[in-house]
Structure 1
Amino acid sequence: MTGRLAAVNLAVVTEAEWAGDPSGRTGIDKRPVAGPVLLRVDGVAGDFIGERAHHGGPDQAVYAYAEEDADWWSAELGRGVRPGGFGENLTTYAVDVTGAVIGEQWAIGDALLQVTKPRTPCTTFAGFWGMPDLIKRFTARATPGAYLRVLREGEVGAGDPVEVVTRPEHGVTIGQVFRAMSLEPELLPRLLDAPELPEPIREKARRRLSGSRP
């Protein structure tokens, strides 16, 4: 089965007390759009990011979440989870996002993307869902979705195939990085095998392995 984009989602700017940005605005509420959307090196054209201290930038230009993982949450919570409900720009179908290897490249539409790191749940996410225990539950589930760099800018749209064109041999996956940093510290040495992993995460892994505090 060929992977594809189920939806491309852009932010509806929301003002809320739980928004992490000092302005009180957040772009976590993303909704499907019709037609192609331009993916740029610095982010998704037409999107909104409120808390830029922790979101956005080249290593987090695009966020992808799997429709299959959203379906699990829908069944778990007994409520529908629409595309964009995790704050993702790209909702994928038949793509192993948790098993994606750090540094692997995806060709979608005119764009070329590179898998960089897992998403870390935050209080804004919990506030948006109205679930104070969401961070704990999201961490335990360990299907965090993937951030991507934009190696070649281009337009993408719902229905576009998602093709993995290269995959590094080190085999370090999104799921392994997430579990290493949150649940299974015994996996930390594996993170140093992935040169494509953003340096702040590699440095944090080195500090934890050496026993020093951040």
Structure 2
Amino acid sequence: MERKLLSLNIGRANLHVWKGKTENSAIGKKGIEEAVLKKNGFIGDYVANREFHGGPERAVCLYPYEHYLLWEKEYNQTFRMPAFGENICVENMLEKDVYIGDTFSFGDAIIQVSQGRIPCSTISKHNRIDSLLGRIVETGFTGYFFRVLQEGEVTDKSNLTLIDRKQENFSVLNGNMLMFHDRKNKKAIEEFLQIEELAIVWREKLLRMLEG
């Protein structure tokens, strides 16, 4: 089954003024028709905050389209893609339905789900809604990241097709709930850590939870 791509986006880091403070961010991405996807991300796509973005295990950021409808209803305003700084916005790929390690063909590329997204305050600032970050964390509707298994060209017509599923115990949403809300669930964290495809940065954070 193909998942429909609704937008393909890249962007450079730029200075933004939020509440009188100047910050450097690449959240303001723009839609494009085609791009080359490499191990570290799309050529022409830049990262400002490397704590939350970038690197081979965060090469592609996806945000599910259905959340746009939810936030528009909740906040009574329009969110225009890519409002959440995502590289791709896709239908029918909610966090609850996608699992760590899921592998998809995407144009000439092959990509694999590596981790949920740990969102930062830039999302609230960019959309000028102070409570948005908190609601994203509360719901676990964060979007998620992919690593690139095979580099290649993609276009805004390149839908995603699931080609391999490694496990069905931990969806992205399950992982988000552990990371944000269930940090003392030692048994579940230990099970989650058994997934080989889980990103190193998440593995390190979860190990610190166990030690703490």
Query: What TM-score results when the alignment is normalised by the length of structure 2?
Result: 0.89
Q: How well do the aligned residues superpose, as a CA RMSD in angstroms?
A: 2.0
2:4 counterpart SS class: strand
Matches of 1:203 and 1:55 in 2, distance apart?
A: 16
For the 8 Å contact 1:39–1:111, the answer to whether it is kept is yes
Matches of 2:201 and 2:118 in 1, distance apart?
A: 14
Gaps of 5+ in 1: none
Cα distance 1:122–1:71, how it changes in 2: closer, same or farther (>3 A)?
same
For the 8 Å contact 2:12–2:47, the answer to whether it is kept is no
2:209 alignment partner AA: R
1:145-184 aligned within 5 A? 145-184=143-182
Gaps of 5+ in 2: none
Aligned to 1:16: 16
Confirm whether residue 30 of structure 1 aligns to residue 35 of structure 2: no
For the 8 Å contact 1:31–1:84, the answer to whether it is kept is yes
For the 8 Å contact 1:109–1:156, the answer to whether it is kept is yes
- How many residues are paired up? 207
For the 8 Å contact 1:101–1:167, the answer to whether it is kept is yes
Q: 2:55 aligns with which of 42, 54, 57?
A: 57
For the 8 Å contact 1:110–1:155, the answer to whether it is kept is yes
Aligned to 1:75: 73
Matches of 2:132 and 2:96 in 1, distance apart?
A: 19
Aligned to 2:97: 99
Matches of 2:70 and 2:111 in 1, distance apart?
A: 26
1:100 alignment partner AA: V
1:140 alignment partner AA: E
Matches of 2:12 and 2:93 in 1, distance apart?
A: 26
Which deviates more from structure 2 when the two are superposed, residues 87-96 or residues 144-153?
A: 87-96
For the 8 Å contact 1:5–1:157, the answer to whether it is kept is no
2:8 counterpart SS class: strand
1:156 counterpart SS class: strand
1:3 alignment partner AA: R
Matches of 1:203 and 1:15 in 2, distance apart?
A: 31
Matches of 1:118 and 1:8 in 2, distance apart?
A: 19
Matches of 1:203 and 1:154 in 2, distance apart?
A: 30
Cα distance 1:25–1:200, how it changes in 2: closer, same or farther (>3 A)?
closer
> Alpha-carbon deviations, 1:28-69, whole Å to 9, x = none?
012222x21111101111112112243200000110111112
Aligned to 1:86: 84
| Sequence identity (%) | 28
Which deviates more from structure 2 when the two are superposed, residues 101-110 or residues 180-189?
A: 180-189
Deviation at 1:95, TM superposition (A): 2.5
Matches of 2:191 and 2:180 in 1, distance apart?
A: 14
1:114 counterpart SS class: strand
1:4 alignment partner AA: K
Deviation at 1:100, TM superposition (A): 1.2
For the 8 Å contact 1:115–1:148, the answer to whether it is kept is yes
Deviation at 1:97, TM superposition (A): 4.0
